[in-house]
Every structure is written in C-alpha cells, then in structure tokens.
Structure 1
Amino acid sequence: TLGADKAYDVTDFVGELRSRSVTPHIAIDGHLSKTGKPRKTAIDRRTLRHAGYAVSQRCRKRIEEVFGWIKASAGLAKVKFRGRARVDAAFKLALAAYNLIRLPRLLGATA
C-alpha cells in the first residue's frame, strides 16, 4: 500500500500505482468544483470498502496533527533559520516539545 495526501488523488497517479500492484491509500479530495459539484476521485469503492483503508487514514490524521502543531504552536510555519543544520535542530526541538506535551496524556492512559 501507499499512503498519500489528497493532492495525489489523480487518475494518472492512481492508475500507475495499480499497474505496479500497489494499493493506493490516498485521501479523497472532496472539494467542490467551480460548478458546485464534488470533485471526481480516482479512488474506487473496492479500496474504500476495506478496513485497512480506514486504519490508514486514521494513522495519517495522527501524523498530520503533529506537523500542524509544529507549524502553528512551535512557530515553524515560516522558519527563521538558514542552513540545513539549524533548521534540523529547530525541527528536532519542536518534536521534543510536542512529545513533552503528550507525555502526561500517555502516562495517564497506561495508569
């Protein structure tokens, strides 16, 4: 399987994955077109009916929440550093802060 963002919900990309025997677990782009109709999706019902697709989308949401928190709360939406090493250090520090914020909830879940 291959998980991807809704930007990859394109017929050519999904067709190429299927030709390589890869199941696309791509988020469906449900935006409305200019005419008000829902956008056509390349993901068919045979993929949507499996429980693995739903699990994949829940895992994807949890990962996206981390990046959303880093952008919004940790201030990394617009990086103020230059150079790969400094940006990498800022990103790792933001991830460590996120883990510290989650720690009480994780410890409470095991108790």
Structure 2
Amino acid sequence: MGQVDKDASKVENLKPNYKLWLEQDGQYVFGLGAYNILKSIHEAGTITEGAKALGMSYRYAWGVIKKIEITLGVKLLETYKGGNVGGGGARVTEHGLKLMEMFDGARTAVDKAFR
C-alpha cells in the first residue's frame, strides 16, 4: 500500500464538476452538445455555418437535432430556401429556444450552487 501524503493543499484544490442533461421518462434528450449546436445555428443562421463553427459536419449536427425532434415530437429548426444558390438558412423554433432556455437556466442554477 502507498503512503498517505499529509499535504492538505491537495484536497483544498478540489472543485466540484458535473455533467448536465435534460431527460424525459428517464431517457437522455438534450445536453451540452445539442445546446451548443442549436446556439451556433441560431447565431450563424444556417446549419452548415453553425456546424462549421463547432468543427463538425452538417450531417452530424443535423442528425443530433433530428434525433431530439423525433424523441420530443416537435420541430427545433425551420429551414428555408433562399433566392440565390446557397441562399437558404435555418431558424431555431420557439420549441428550440425554450429547450435552450431550460438547459441554460438549469446550468446557471447548478453553477451558482457550486460557487
């Protein structure tokens, strides 16, 4: 068995950490990754640019969103076509904004509890 170090500073430097997600009926639905995807799309105005800003593919970002939409039975994004080539975009729906707000509120509350 190893020796126990009596240096208290090793314990004093510990900080709490957590992983937060939203679930329904005990099943994972929405977490930080999905939050970041929706937020990035909301800021960029397109799925392509939102995904690119996070260093992920369009296909991956769209797949994450579609899985949540199917699970919840609501649309999180509305896509639209533009007048020019590549002129379309995406808008986060009220359901998507509410989900982001719920997650961000929970995260803020937990962060405050750990301070």
Normalised TM-score (structure 1): 0.32
Q: Say which structure, 1 or 2, has more relative contact order (CA 8 Å, 6+ apart).
A: 2
Who wins on radius of gyration, i.e. which is larger? 2
Query: 1 or 2, which has the higher strand percentage?
Result: 2
Query: 1 or 2, which has the higher helix percentage?
Result: 1
Normalised TM-score (structure 2): 0.31
